[in-house]
Amino acid sequence: MNASMITAMSSMNALQQKLDLFADNIANVGTVGYKRKESSFEDLLTNMKAQPEAFQQSGRLTPLGYNQGWGAKMTEIVTNFTQGPLKETGLSTDFALEGNALFEVFADDAGNRAYTRNGAFHLTLDANGDNILTTENGQPIVAIITDANGNATEGRIVLPHGSEMQVAADGTVLGVSSQGSTVLGRLKLLEVTRPDALTAVADNLFAVAGGINADEVVQAVVPSEENGIAVRQGFLEQSNVDFTQEMTELIIVQRAYQLAARAISSSDTMMGLANNMRA
Amino acid sequence: MLRGLYTAASGLITQQRRHDTVTNNIANINTPGYKGTNSVAHTFPEMMLSLTGVKNEPNTKIGKLTTGVFAEESLALYLQGDLRETNKASDFAILSNIAVDGLTFDAAGKNVSDNGTVTYQPQAYFTIQTADGGVRYTRGGSFTVYEDGILRTSDGSTVLGANGAPIQLPPGVSIESLTLNANHQLVDAGGAVYGQLLISRIDNPYLLVRDGSGHFRYEGNENEVQAIVAAEGVEVRQGYIERSNVDVTQAAIDIMAAMRAYEANQKVIQFYDRSLDKAVNEVGRI
């Protein structure tokens, strides 16, 4: 079989996957809290066509054997967690994060957690008629609640009816009403130390894959001036996809795709020549 | 006998190999740290032709003839690739321009002295360890750090530190908080060192054999590989990757040249076939 065809085919597959990745990023250029997905290429397995000792001629530079590569593949997709621009919305349930941190949400009733940079939260009525702070899809936001005895537990933010929500830069949530203000809890924020171990799942959430200890990937953090982390109420973090950069890389990949297609048609011509050796 | 029939057939196979090599270069024009390869062709050994069955002829020699060509080796071109900024803290690129006692190297990294001694320009590589424990060298510095804190290449091989052990960041220390200094050490804002990249110097890069996934295996004596500590014409940059050094224009031309040379060999075979046709069907007609 024609090695050129296999090589060009495998690299076109890889380039197609990369194009799909650009399409994903460009589609999410307006998604709040979206983080750009990136990947690279690496060359595939090579094999050595063995050569006998007689091939060790003078002037030969490399060890015996003819080395042949079989194309390229796309490497694992990682997420680029650089800061996106903040846009003011004025809504009291919109939050943006500054610095290297994530919100934590209760992903399901089983207690699994997920993480997000998308701070477009909502107030949702639960079964008991409580007003709780959730994501757009109704998943409650994890907060640290300190009770009267000073014990801190993880729970949901419940906003008393008739109160307005005020959130400080360190994530402390206040319920403000005409009767005064009460502390409802502090939004739990996590600093990411192993961003490559986070997997992007649906609905703009990130999760830690099963079998991995989440504490090794993310650590609870309290926003401060020193660590540069802050919660901004009334703002939303925009997607960190840079349209110009995406388009430039798209052109590079598309041209590589074209060139690989040329290699296929060229090796097709060669196979035609072999077939028509005796016309 | 028509010797040239087999000569042209060997030409077909050689051009096919050349085409395969160029296609693999094209496939890797976006692979970080990839080094383009060239297929080097070599003639078959020369034969001396002589007249036979003649008497009283002072000179029976006709001349020398080679009856074919074969793809002898695939030579990687160890040229520096362009650096591209990625702003990712776990991406590293090597800028290597090692000087050897005042020698000047040509574009292919070779110096031939007046007495014919050939010196190749040494090259610098990241040192990595595969899952089975083998030591490999790579210029593809696009690394990742998973939950265990070990710096790995995209195929899971560990990146070795100057102490010969994989570089592992302690829990809670993110690669984003570290910067690389001139001694290839990863340091945090307070100056604490979290590992030092083992950059290996390979004096004759042609003894490296491509191993897939951007790895090279050293075929020479491992003792010849030295660690580079600082300076010596090698710079490692964080937040950059070295792009593939394949020249797209050259590759596009090479692939056309290989295809047309293949076609020319095919034509030669057809001409031989016509000669055979004449010999069999016309000369032999009764």
Out of B174, B212, B241, closest to residue A45 by CB: B212
Closest-CA residue of A relative to B140 is A42
Out of A100, A219, A273, closest to residue B172 by CB: A219
Closest-CA residue of B relative to A77 is B154
Q: Looking at the complex, report in whole angstroms how far the Cα of residue B143 sits from the nearest Cα belonging to chain A.
A: 10
**Mean of per-residue pLDDT scores for chain A:** 89
Closest-CA residue of A relative to B25 is A71
The interface predicted TM-score (ipTM) is: 0.86
Query: Is A65 in Cβ contact with B209 (below 8 Å)?
Result: yes
Report yes or no: A236 and A121 within 8 Å, Cβ to Cβ.
no
Tens of pLDDT, residues A165-189: 899 998 899 999 888 888 889 999 9
As a whole number, mean pLDDT of residues A180-203 equals 88
pLDDT of residue A95: 93
As a whole number, mean pLDDT of residues A43-56 equals 85
Residue contacts between A and B (CB atoms, under 8 Å) = 193
Reference A260, options B238, B25, B183; nearest CA is B25
Reference A79, options A223, A192, A221, A248; nearest CA is A192
A62 interaction partners in chain B (CB closer than 8 Å): 73-75, 206-207, 209
Q: Looking at the complex, report in whole angstroms how far the Cα of residue A63 sits from the nearest Cα belonging to chain B.
A: 6
> How far, rounded to the nearest angstrom, does the alpha carbon of residue A250 sit from its chain's CA centroid?
19
* Residue B191, phi then psi, degrees to nearest 5: 95, 0
Query: Is A196 in Cβ contact with B90 (below 8 Å)?
Result: yes
As a whole number, mean pLDDT of residues A244-253 equals 92
pLDDT of residue B231: 65
**Mean of per-residue pLDDT scores for chain B:** 89
* Residue B87, phi then psi, degrees to nearest 5: 60, 15
Out of B30, B72, B241, closest to residue A60 by CB: B72
Q: What is the pTM of this model?
A: 0.87
pLDDT of residue A274: 92
Angle at A226 (CA atoms; ends A222, A232), nearest 5 degrees = 60
pLDDT of residue B101: 80
Out of B30, B210, B256, closest to residue A69 by CB: B210
pLDDT of residue B240: 94
Q: Looking at the complex, report in whole angstroms how far the Cα of residue B189 sits from the nearest Cα belonging to chain A.
A: 12
- Does A150 score more than 70 pLDDT? yes
> How far, rounded to the nearest angstrom, does the alpha carbon of residue A104 sit from its chain's CA centroid?
15
Portion of chain A with pLDDT greater than 70, in percent: 99
**Residues found in chain B:** 286
Q: Looking at the complex, report in whole angstroms how far the Cα of residue A244 sits from the nearest Cα belonging to chain B.
A: 14
- Band (pLDDT 50/70/90 cuts) for residue B214 is confident
Tens of pLDDT, residues B262-286: 999 999 999 999 998 888 888 867 6
Q: Which of B82-91, B173-182, B191-200, B229-238 has the lowest mean pLDDT?
A: B229-238
Reference A38, options A249, A256, A254; nearest CA is A249
Neighbours of A227 (CB within 10 A): 14
As a whole number, mean pLDDT of residues A141-160 equals 87
Out of A38, A43, A266, closest to residue B214 by CB: A43
Q: Which of B8-17, B227-236, B251-260 has the lowest mean pLDDT?
A: B227-236
pLDDT of residue B1: 59
For A171, half-sphere exposure in the C-beta direction (CA atoms, 13 angstrom radius) is 27
Q: What Rg do the C-alpha atoms of chain A give, in angstroms?
A: 27
- Band (pLDDT 50/70/90 cuts) for residue A244 is very high
Question: What is the C-alpha to C-alpha distance for residues B283 and A2, in angstroms, rounded to an integer?
Answer: 38
Most confident of A61-65, A66-70, A134-138, B259-263: B259-263
- Band (pLDDT 50/70/90 cuts) for residue A279 is low
CA torsion through residues A230, A233, A235, A239, sign: positive
- Does A1 score more than 70 pLDDT? no
A208 interaction partners in chain B (CB closer than 8 Å): 147
Question: What is the C-alpha to C-alpha distance for residues A233 and A97, in angstroms, rounded to an integer?
Answer: 9
Query: Is A274 in Cβ contact with B213 (below 8 Å)?
Result: no
Report yes or no: A267 and B23 within 8 Å, Cβ to Cβ.
yes
Residue of A75, A192, A271, A278 best to disrupt the B interface, most CBs of B under 10 A: A75
Portion of chain A with pLDDT greater than 90, in percent: 46
Query: Is B256 in Cβ contact with A266 (below 8 Å)?
Result: yes
Q: Looking at the complex, report in whole angstroms how far the Cα of residue A236 sits from the nearest Cα belonging to chain B.
A: 24
- Band (pLDDT 50/70/90 cuts) for residue A269 is very high
B182: tokens are: 């001139």
Report yes or no: A143 and A175 within 8 Å, Cβ to Cβ.
no
Out of B23, B263, B273, closest to residue A263 by CB: B23
pLDDT of residue B280: 87
B209 interaction partners in chain A (CB closer than 8 Å): 48, 62-63, 65, 67
Angle at A253 (CA atoms; ends A249, A255), nearest 5 degrees = 115
Per-position b or e across B179-197, b if 16+ CB within 10 A of its CB: ebeeebbbbeeeeeebbbb
Question: What is the C-alpha to C-alpha distance for residues A105 and B177, in angstroms, rounded to an integer?
Answer: 26
- Contacts of residue A88, defined as CB under 8 A and 6 or more positions apart, other chains included, come to A234, A235
pLDDT of residue A86: 94
pLDDT of residue B4: 87
Tens of pLDDT, residues B54-94: 888 788 888 898 889 998 888 898 889 999 998 888 999 99
- Does B127 score more than 90 pLDDT? yes
Tens of pLDDT, residues A16-35: 999 999 999 999 999 999 99
B214 interaction partners in chain A (CB closer than 8 Å): 42-43
Closest-CA residue of B relative to A13 is B27
B245 interaction partners in chain A (CB closer than 8 Å): none
Out of B24, B86, B172, closest to residue A69 by CB: B24
Give the SS3 label for residue A187.
strand
